Amino acid sequence: MNKNKFGILSMLLAVVVAFASCKPATESEESGSKILINEVLMTNETNFQDDYGMHSAWIELFNKSYGSYNVAAHMLKYSDTPGDTAVYFIPKGDVLTLIPPRQHTLFWADGQPNRGTFHINFTLDPTKESWIGIFDSGNKLLNEITIPANILTTDQSYARTVDGESEWEICGAGTTKYVTPSSNNYTLDKNMKMDKFQTQDKNGIGMAVSAMAVVFSGLLLLYIIFRTIGKISTWWALRKAGKAKGLSEEETKEAMAKGATPGEVFAAIAMAMHEMQDDVHDVEDTILTIHQIERRYSPWNSKIYSLRDLPKK
């Protein structure tokens, strides 16, 4: 009993130490790693249209986390002149401000906030160095970018090479870099591992062998586990039985070995039961014999019971 108490106390102490040693993430790490400015297009002539059918500049936000993130009550800030910063407060109450995991949302920089939640109150100037930042409800900076002046032309965007990564590039200038509003900045059009596997194993023999090896390995592992559990359970039961009778472990093993029934005995008992079960059932005779009755008269063939007789009054 003392050993059990000591073990329980040791486990509790280890759990407490583990939780105490875990360093909680700071507020900036938690919030700043979730929502990011992912792509910006400053001059829109033939690109994506808003819900009014207008070509306007836009700012794309990306939810980097694997849980939904609500940008309601956050602030988008923009400045292209030192000391002059435009601020847009994202209203509450719009369900579309809840960004699903690893998804995007667009804010239109058209200077028309009366058009809806996602139309902000400032525009973007590509001829000036532009700073854009997003802040939480406590006015804490979550993410920011600075776009150099005159690097973007018409229908070109300044985007991260991969969603959520730190490297930026200009998209829309060539045939390989596309502007991707509300979509992934980098999309894999092929799987290198699958192509390599298809080249090295055209007939699928390697895949079949690998699958069979995994299945049989799993079965072998299960066999070993259950066999080990069975032995441990038997040993534990013997140990408890020996302690109950005051026997040592060796004496318990000897007693069980003496009383163990060999397999031949069980086989003989099973055979005897099988033979007995077969002998119990009678063998039915398949010959059917019909004997003629001695009395020839029967009410069934008597004419006095004919249906032609009138009923008696």
* CA–CA–CA angle 201, 188, 41 (5° rounding): 170
pLDDT at 307: 60
pLDDT at 27: 34
* Residue 241, pLDDT above cutoff 80: no
The answer to whether residue 198 is domain-embedded is no
As a whole number, mean pLDDT of residues 11-33 equals 44
Say which residue, 122 or 306, is predicted with more confidence.
Answer: 122
Q: Are residues 54 and 145 in the same domain?
A: yes
Q: Are residues 181 and 243 in the same domain?
A: no
Overall number of domains in the chain: 2
* Residue 25, pLDDT above cutoff 50: no
Say which residue, 81 or 33, is predicted with more confidence.
Answer: 81
Query: Tens of pLDDT along 79-126?
Result: 999 889 999 999 999 999 999 999 999 999 999 999 999 999 999 999
Q: How would residue 31 be classed by pLDDT, with cut points 50, 70 and 90? A: very low
Q: Are residues 83 and 222 in the same domain?
A: no
pLDDT at 23: 41
Q: Are residues 152 and 74 in the same domain?
A: yes
Query: Tens of pLDDT along 75-85?
Result: 999 999 988 99
Q: Are residues 105 and 245 in the same domain?
A: no
The model's pTM:
0.54
The answer to whether residue 133 is domain-embedded is yes
Rounded to whole angstroms, the Cα distance separating 260 from 148 reads: 88
Query: Tens of pLDDT along 131-158?
Result: 999 999 999 999 999 999 999 999 999 9
* 107: Cβ contacts below 8 Å, ≥ 6 apart: 58, 59, 60, 61, 76, 88, 118, 119, 120
